[in-house]
A and B are shown apart, each in its own frame.
Chain A
Amino acid sequence: MITKVSRPNLLRRKNLRPVAHLTIPTWIFLALVVLIPFFYGIYISFLNINLASFLPPSFVGFDNYQTVLAASETWSTLRITLIITLIGLLMQIPIGILLALVLHENLRGTKIFRSILITPMLLTPVAVGLTYRFMFDTDLGVINWALGSIGIEKVNWLGSQTSALFAIIIVDSWQSIPFVMLLVLAALTAISSSLYEAARVDGATASQIFRRITLPLITPTLLVITMIKIMDFLKLFDTLFILTRGGPGNATTTLGLWTYKTGFVFLEFSRAAALGVIITIITLPVYFLWRRASKGVR
């Protein structure tokens, strides 16, 4: 009962492919959480909404932007964001590369080690923050105890700006280094082994191979990681909120946390929206560099 019917129209690849209308449900959701809120946020930033006031909001032009840009907190929290970002990157990228290199050697048990090493990035940040807060405790914390046993005096970790920033960076690094490691590992895996063999035949040392072959070839990936991490540091919230709430004072408040505080603690909603627009503007160049760098990766 086999009837051979030729159906040239159906066989054309164009018809065999699904169509754009499959993306409509996604469009609806993204419109609800990104598109509409984004433009509504810009609109709010030109009003004078205060969540504690019952007066109907009115249009105030660029007033919120003027207030926000004149406020010292905007600049001090931006500075703190930059410090965390810079030190964080300097810690996370080298350690991530080092771990990726070790995993890339494919020693016995590598798979198990890899599974263990990525665990931190999966764990609930709030719970992680809580655990570290306990571990950083000045008198009873296990970290000061361990430091004490090698003769280092007690540190009041979350009590002063420098050490609190350091603690925040340590916790973020604990959760973020696996991400750096995974992306670098993927880049290392993509390098052809013949390159290494040729170099070894030519008598290159391990450090020469790393500097002349590995590093240049993973540079595009490192750029991508840097851009993503800059955006993630701007987003930093959960662990920061648990560890210090931006304190003491505003000593560890980042721009993102400051926006939250402005809107939901001080209830200056429109000013917070203006800060949100400013954060978006700061994010834009990073975003474009990220997209550009990511084209170089694959």
Chain B
Amino acid sequence: MMEVSLLEIIGRIIGAIIIAFIGIVVGLFYKGLDRKLAAKMQARLGPPLRQPFLDFFKLMIKENIVPENAVPWIFNGVPVLTLVSALTILFYLPVGSIPPLLSGYGDVILIIYLLTLPAIGMVIGGFASGSPYANVGAQREMVMMMSYELPLVTTVISIGWKLSQVYPQINVFSLEVINNHPIWGLVGPLGFVGAIFLLLTLAVVTPGELSKIPFDVPEAETELAGGLLVEYSGRNLALFSLADATKTIVMASLTIVLFFPYNISPLFHLSGFLAIALDTLFFLVKLFLVIFIEVTFIRVAVARFKIDQVSFAYWVPISLMGLLGLVLIFLDHII
């Protein structure tokens, strides 16, 4: 056990509040950027960048309707759980050259568990709202979770395994270790191809994890009238929108940590505060690029899948792609 002083705990709590606030603001800003760019791609003007903030403040003053046949304490509690579990992941993610707030207390396996919590929260909320639409949405969300977990875990395990072979002494699932040792530098040509497959796998898992088109079957607006969220209004819906914004940057950050953990400051031989500022800026640029490609571009380019197509896509082609990446990295190591 590590020695923890009272001062350190207070520092961590203040840090957590600051990170949560920054995470939400950045998440909402990127959501606005996403909507603006999607509109530009469809030759529209699109909403202003601050639109998600306006939506949030509007939802906060709306009436909160709890349906007659809902379970009120679950119905009202789940949005908080969803937001909190999404925010908790932020404390474990390194940003540029800044180490995570809770470094040493959790690893990438914990993040995979925490990533399922918002989805499980929404499933429980869907069932608790007592609407047939939400019920169908919740069932679809469960099917989705079962589908995308395998490829997601394959990606993480492959990178962890490769690191464990190169550096047998260290904790390979620690996010700081993964962040300091990019996968691309450790593998040969065969493993490089494998890592590209893994990157593609994670890029397809991301929109599924975030319930974005083409994998937004649980929230399908046109056929399920909002699916899981159909009965939610006012403050609860606002919390769900914050959780969605936070989850977007969490998933994009995970892609960055696993595949693009490079920093820009060593290039300019900077150190100290300037280096941290520049790296953070560079991190935000990377975040934007990842969100743009994995969420915005895919969202505009394709239409929604049916639930059986989503399940098939994750279980067969995407899982096979992930396993192929794993096998290639393994072959690269033993040859």
Bound pair (A, B): no
Seen from chain B, the residues whose Cβ lies within 8 Å of a Cβ on chain A are none
